[in-house]
Structure 1
Amino acid sequence: MTTKRKGKLNFTATFSIACVLLIIALMISILYGDAKIHLTTIFEAIFDYNPKNQQHNIISEIRIPRDIGAILVGVALGTSGAVIQGVTKNGLADPSLIGLNSGAAFMLALTFAFYPTAPFLVMMFAGFIGALIGGFIVLMIGRSRSDGFNPMRIILAGAAVSALLTALSQGVALLFRLNQSLTFWSAGGVSGTTWNQLMWAAPFILVSLVIIVSMSKQLTILNLGETLAKGLGQNVAFTRGITLILSMILAGIAVAMVGQIAFVGLMVPHIVRYLVGTDYARVIPLTAVVGGLLLLVADTIARMLGEAPVGAIISFIGVPYFLYLVKRGGRFS
């Protein structure tokens, strides 16, 4: 009862603080770079754009798309992780740990091999199909008739399937000489994000997010147990199916945009549940904001370190956190 009350009292303030921090981080990220740019120049580039002004071009064509891309990918990965953890009741679940990212990367490798000039929409679709294949295999292996989704079985199946799909991706890369093209996708990074990518990715991510938020009550009940959810008249199969497909869409789009970035979907939902409780009406919106904030800050740090891989920056925090969760038995925060 105390936790629930605390979540109700603190959600608005916590969500508002997270949004303010996200805006501050966005402004700092746009300001930071090799070219020194003043804050007033940012507003000029947005509201009074001059194509002949080099600083305006840097802001509008490089920094803003990159930063918005980082936020959207953080939103997608964080939300996807929260949904998967809720549906499977597995606190160790993450898009990268249950085969979604590696499946998306494998399909993207095939796309590069057979359709090198594929537009971003095709890459998004390939990423979703790959995430669907990888996730389906892992979840079917990890599910048993007696106890539903077994957390340890899912993690072991995810490790095995991810290793297989990664090996297949590397095989395709060697066969078609795509090693250089796929290096970016293996390391993960948002430096190449364009307005064209955002134009296609943003609607899918935002619509998926809205649908998931609208189903937050069903997710909360499902997280309490399948038997209880059925007893309350919930269509468990429908809720699980729709939310998992949406989480796979989010993961597939994220990989198509920036490559494989792990642990965002693992860490962020735990942090959010610790702050506002387990009601998914609060968890999903705050996870989206905190996920965007985490990836934006990680990308800014990566730039400060000379364009280090964002995936490596996240993993530096994510691996110890994962080991900590394993020690706790993967229990929810």
Structure 2
Amino acid sequence: MSAEMNERSSAPIDRSGRIYVAGHRGMVGSAVWRALERNGFEDIVGRTSSELDLRDRDATFEWFRSSRPRYVVLAAAKVGGIVANSTAPVQFLSENLQIQVNVMDAALEAGVEKLLFLGSSCIYPKFAPQPIPEDSLLTGHLEPTNDAYAIAKIAGILQVQSVRRQYGLPWISAMPTNLYGPGDNFSPTGSHVLPALLRRYDEARRNGSPFVENWGTGTPRREFLHVDDMAEASLHLLDVYDGPQQVNVGTGVDETIAEIASHVAEVTGYEGETRWDTGKPDGTPQKLLDISKIRALGWEPSIGLREGLASTFAWYRDHVGELRNA
């Protein structure tokens, strides 16, 4: 299928229509909520996991029948870093499949006009061409440290495409690069690389540690997008995009993990040594997204990495007493 096949023009979604943000308390969902408020949406709804467990199919269908949202942003997911993905693949596969299937099936039954499914750049093959174009999907082997999570997200893309084919609804998917920002998971075992680095270097500074030791060699290259940029991209896609192919969302710029660690040390004020445990896995050697598609749709990121790191670290310091440790 070509990238343009079955793409159609799209009108902006109605700011007065009810929009459900699934996962609105998470880092991505809360950023989407803030973006919707900034852009004049009048009827934004969400439910915490204690109020509505999206793994519970009957409860999910019942909620959609009673609430009748017109639009949905599916940001709810079980997420984690390399340690979490490596040690709990069953949960990452099963729970994400349950959430996605339940929400999309219930949304379809309830007549949701437009749904945005948010995935992850880990859906692409480990050795995909760099930067990674959208049509690299399903062309090679996945990175084994997060393949279970990736398969779940690929299934979500296919479910969106299937709804489009069978029912003609303008549902869409977006695949962000590595995200960071306020509300991130800073736990030692469950976090992604950037919040893990921020916490590690801050604790080393406060404890007077002579060195910080990071996993791997420091040579893999990573791209990072501030979650508020991702939220604005999500709204932009809801307004302008109607096509079957997932859309990459990133910055188009990457750096080595060692360079990023240096930025983190600077932001946190840590002046000690950085060491690398080369016996630990590196993960994918490079993961830079080709964002020419979303750029052609009129969106560009606006928050630079240094600015975003500084604001994220400020948020972390303000909330460090409230953060989870697993």
Query: Shorter-chain-normalised TM-score: which range?
Result: under 0.3
Question: Normalising to structure 2: TM-score of the pair?
Answer: 0.25
- Higher fraction of helix: 1
- Higher fraction of strand: 2
